[in-house]
A and B are shown apart, each in its own frame.
Chain A
């Protein structure tokens, strides 16, 4: 049976982890490579890097981080943030990323997703959708961390990217992101029902029950979380054992 995945996400800015793990054993709390290794050794099913570096000149640092991480972590590695061109994807994959996640570039021009999946295969193209609730049962796609409204319906957009070759959808609720109040389960449910590709739930995790809700109530194939793991509130293993105790199948 296919297991539900737990994916810790590391926010990286100018080569340093922004929201970092506060583990005492860390030599360098800001080193993304070391943190990725801790997650991987702790049973993370995948590792996700989100590059939030603003300027283009620092983009090479993420490539270097990916290269180093890929030599030490032998679980899938997804990299997102600032992926705008075919060359960006080529560089990340050559450095050792297994998947890239495309956000703004997919919203700006959806044919980019098609081009990317045709060139590299659907298996490595994740489309990240940032959605915000605008009315009852209606969510809209936002970009730039929830600041820019696009007028695009999130459900329709999810269906569209599936048709043109996305392998997975990374769905973040902008209403919930950073609130620790749980995933937007309603949003997840609508999108997992309307699409046939795996959906990764993101945005809002504060407790282990939230992970359970994302999978069981929202229908997500994988759950992504940042702060509950970063700040050492829970270890990956604890999350997995908890889910397992509630009959959610995970890789132990």
Chain B
């Protein structure tokens, strides 16, 4: 089995590489690449993302054929993809960070700034918060409801179809923090920084 972490110059992905390497040891072959051929032939894809929505989308678009390859992988071939943080946010049609920017459009919805209620809530939302599991999810196997995960973000994904939401977290409002629609999975929090429970989520994804 080949799992590929897409390296598209989207900021710091060392932690994603480290934690997947830790979990993948002796189980799967892990690649970190932006090579289209390798992405096409892999069994699972991890799409990380740090920085702004716009900078991530721009970086994806700057690699010739990458967006089409990912779309084919996810939409046509229905193979598993895990988006992390901005990697998840990019599933949306549109994002509003820096400038209005078109997303991948895989799950209808938008990415807007968290309402901080006039400064009542500090942004970025940084730190450990509990997740409320909304539906059975393949990556939450053996993860208890109300488990703590590590978050760093100021923007939230608001999907139109609420049935894709697999978990929310409470910060100013119920923020969508995990989605799942068939083979398409995403977490707003960082499983790679969420200690043993985060590694378990990664393990669940690898074992899909």
Interface residues of A (CB under 8 A from B): 1-5, 40, 45, 70-71, 74-76, 93-98, 120-124, 167-168, 196-198, 221-222, 251
Contacts and interface: CB of A to CB of B under 8 A. Distances in A.
A222 B125 CA distance: 12
B151 to A, nearest CB: 8
Nearest to B21: A71
A194 to B, nearest CB: 10
Contacts of A221: 122, 126-127
Interface residues on B, range: 35 or more
A167 to B, nearest CB: 6
Given A1-B171, A2-B151, A3-B128, 13 more contacts: A2-B129, A74-B198, A75-B195, A94-B12, A96-B15, A96-B18, A98-B15, A122-B124, A123-B153, A124-B12, A196-B122, A251-B128, A251-B148
Interface of B: 11-12, 14-15, 18-19, 21-22, 50-52, 55, 116, 119, 122-130, 148, 150-154, 170-171, 192-196, 198-199
Contacts of A123: 50-51, 124, 126, 152-153
A71 B126 CA distance: 22
Given A5-B128, A221-B127, A93 B12 contact: yes
A93 B154 CA distance: 21
Contact of A121 (B11, B192, B193): B11
Contact of A1 (B130, B192, B198): B130
8 contacts: A5-B127, A40-B195, A71-B22, A93-B12, A95-B14, A96-B18, A122-B124, A197-B122
B14 A70 contact: yes
Contacts, number: 100
Nearest to A99: B152
Contact of B19 (A5, A74, A97): A74
Which 5 pairs across A and B sit closest by C-beta, in order of nearness? A121-B51, A93-B12, A123-B152, A251-B128, A96-B14
Contacts of A121: 11, 50-52, 55
A74 B199 contact: yes
Contacts of A98: 12, 15, 193
Contacts of B55: 121
B148 to A, nearest CB: 5
Contacts of A1: 129-130, 170-171
A2 B137 CA distance: 23
B42 to A, nearest CB: 23
A197 B153 contact: no
Nearest to B169: A2
Contacts of B150: 75-76
Nearest to B10: A121
Nearest to A40: B195
Contacts of B199: 74
B14 A94 contact: yes
Contacts of B19: 74
B51 A120 contact: yes
A120 B170 CA distance: 27
Contacts of B193: 74-76, 98
Contact of B126 (A75, A96, A167): A167
B123 A197 contact: yes
Contacts of B124: 122-123, 167-168, 197-198
Given A121-B52, A123-B124, A198-B122, A70 B129 contact: no
B192 A45 contact: no
Given A74-B194, A121-B11, A251-B148, A222 B18 contact: no
A221 B126 CA distance: 9
A64 to B, nearest CB: 14
- Candidate in B50, B122, B192 with the most chain A CB atoms within 10 angstroms: B122
Contacts of B171: 1-2
A3 B196 CA distance: 17
A1 B130 CA distance: 6
Contacts of B152: 76, 123, 167
A196 B121 CA distance: 8
